[in-house]
């Protein structure tokens, strides 16, 4: 495994990050395909054994059980200071707003609950999960800064935002003497490259780490379009993100398969190797050991410039989907895809 600095932080992270959305009680949250505790711990430990030290979870993943499974495994099998844990907090609820719970109070409550779930004393990277139009960004930044000053959080990151939102936030933080966001977690992979328009140049300019999610397009870049899996069948959110563009995307996926055959490696290795030329550390979900193998092996695969061009040339612009589509306007909670079936949020 290779390691790299996470943007303007002092954190040294593995070149791939294990995404933990696939871990958690299958009967308690948004997804039916997640792994229960025993199987989750086996995959996390396998990642540790293969050099992965960077793990990404969220309080919203299976109502906190993803955090719980990750924390138990880290406490059992790793030295805490060797591991980088990222987790994310959700926006204020309508009830909290009605009860005048401030953004600062909300963030502190969520962080304390995540620390309880994880069984840890601090969070390495605490991430603003999605833009909250009902909470002033000053309050968000102030609340996060207080967590850093209290020693509960080392660094802060942001997810599912536009480049202007990240730039504005860090400008305000600089003016107020608050901690700035050192990383951004957006939707970015070989068949969804909209981050290259403005976010990628901003991050290169300001040394902000890119740690994209959906690095394999919910598994679509790891197998031919004719293949099936439980997640492909049951993940309704992923269908929203990819089904409408599948015809054009499949042409790129076929090229991934072609290069994989040429190099005698997996499609996963090719797709991730391409992404690793663009970002700091892609987040890769894993529910089987061979998923971990593909992620780890991708770090050593070197694609040529011709390979990269061959993979990129068929891309066409995509409309924003999922959380980023919601980011364009205020919607009530029943309309937001990320809120469906999410309960017991703190």
Following DSSP, what letter does each residue of 169-221 receive, concatenated? HHHHHHHHTPPPEEEEE-B-BTTB-GGGTTHHHHHHHHTPEE--B-TTTTTGG
pLDDT at 222: 95
Q: Mean pLDDT per segment of 10 residues, for the chain of length 346 residues?
A: 98 98 93 94 98 98 97 98 97 95 98 98 97 94 98 98 97 98 97 97 98 95 79 65 83 97 98 98 97 98 98 93 76 45 40
User: Are 189 and 19 in contact, with CB atoms under 8 Å apart?
Assistant: no
Q: 0.95 cut: is pTM over it?
A: no
Beta 17-19 vs 283-285: how paired, if at all? Answer: parallel
338, burial (CB in 10 Å: exposed 0-12, middle 13-18, buried 19+) = middle
Residues 6+ apart with CB under 8 A from 28: 62, 63, 65
Chain centroid offset of residue 250 CA:
23
pLDDT at 225: 83
Show the CA angle centred on residue 250, arms to residues 161 and 241, nearest 5°.
30
Beta 54-56 vs 17-19: how paired, if at all? Answer: parallel
In 3D space, the residue among 228, 242, 256, 249 whose CA is nearest the CA of residue 322 turns out to be 242
237, burial (CB in 10 Å: exposed 0-12, middle 13-18, buried 19+) = middle
61 is catalytic: yes
pLDDT at 56: 98
The alpha carbons of the chain give a radius of gyration, in whole angstroms, of 19
Instruction: Name 88's bridge partners.
Output: 127
At residue 59, the 3 state secondary structure works out as coil
pLDDT at 232: 61
**d(C-alpha 309, C-alpha 245), whole Å:** 21
pLDDT at 320: 86
Q: Which of 46, 61, 69, 155 is catalytic?
A: 61
pLDDT at 334: 46
**d(C-alpha 295, C-alpha 268), whole Å:** 7
């Amino acid at each position: 495994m290779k390691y790299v600095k996470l943007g303007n932080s002092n954190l040294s992270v593995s070149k791939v990050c294990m995404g933990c959305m696939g871990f958690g009680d299958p009967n308690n949250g948004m997804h039916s395909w997640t792994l229960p505790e025993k199987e989750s711990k086996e995959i996390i430990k396998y990642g540790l054994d293969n050099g992965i030290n960077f793990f990404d979870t969220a309080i919203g993943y299976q109502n906190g059980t993803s955090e719980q499974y990750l924390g138990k495994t880290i406490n059992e099998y790793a030295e805490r200071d060797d591991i980088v844990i990222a987790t994310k907090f959700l926006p204020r609820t309508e009830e909290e707003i009605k009860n005048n719970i401030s953004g600062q109070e909300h963030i502190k409550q969520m962080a304390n609950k995540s620390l309880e779930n994880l069984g840890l004393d601090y969070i390495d990277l605490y991430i603003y999960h999605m833009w909250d139009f009902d909470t002033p960004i000053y309050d968000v930044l102030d609340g996060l800064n207080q967590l850093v000053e209290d020693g509960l959080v080392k660094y802060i990151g942001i997810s599912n935002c536009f480049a202007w939102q990240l730039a504005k936030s860090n400008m305000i933080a600089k003016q107020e003497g608050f901690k700035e966001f050192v990383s951004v977690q957006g939707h970015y992979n070989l068949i969804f490259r909209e981050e290259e328009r403005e976010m990628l140049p901003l991050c290169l300019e300001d040394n902000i780490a890119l740690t994209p999610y959906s690095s394999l397009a919910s598994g679509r870049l790891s197998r031919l379009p004719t293949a099936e899996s439980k997640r492909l069948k049951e993940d309704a959110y992923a269908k929203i993100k990819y089904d409408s563009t599948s015809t054009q995307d499949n042409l790129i996926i076929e090229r991934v398969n072609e290069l994989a055959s040429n190099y005698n490696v997996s499609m996963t290795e090719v797709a991730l190797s391409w992404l690793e030329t663009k970002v700091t550390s892609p987040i890769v979900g894993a529910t089987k050991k061979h998923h971990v193998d593909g992620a780890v092996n991708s770090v050593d695969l070197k694609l040529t410039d011709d390979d990269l061009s061959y993979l990129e040339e068929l891309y066409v612009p995509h409309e924003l989907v999922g959380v980023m589509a919601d980011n364009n306007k205020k919607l009530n909670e029943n309309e937001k895809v990320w809120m469906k079936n999410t309960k017991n949020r703190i």
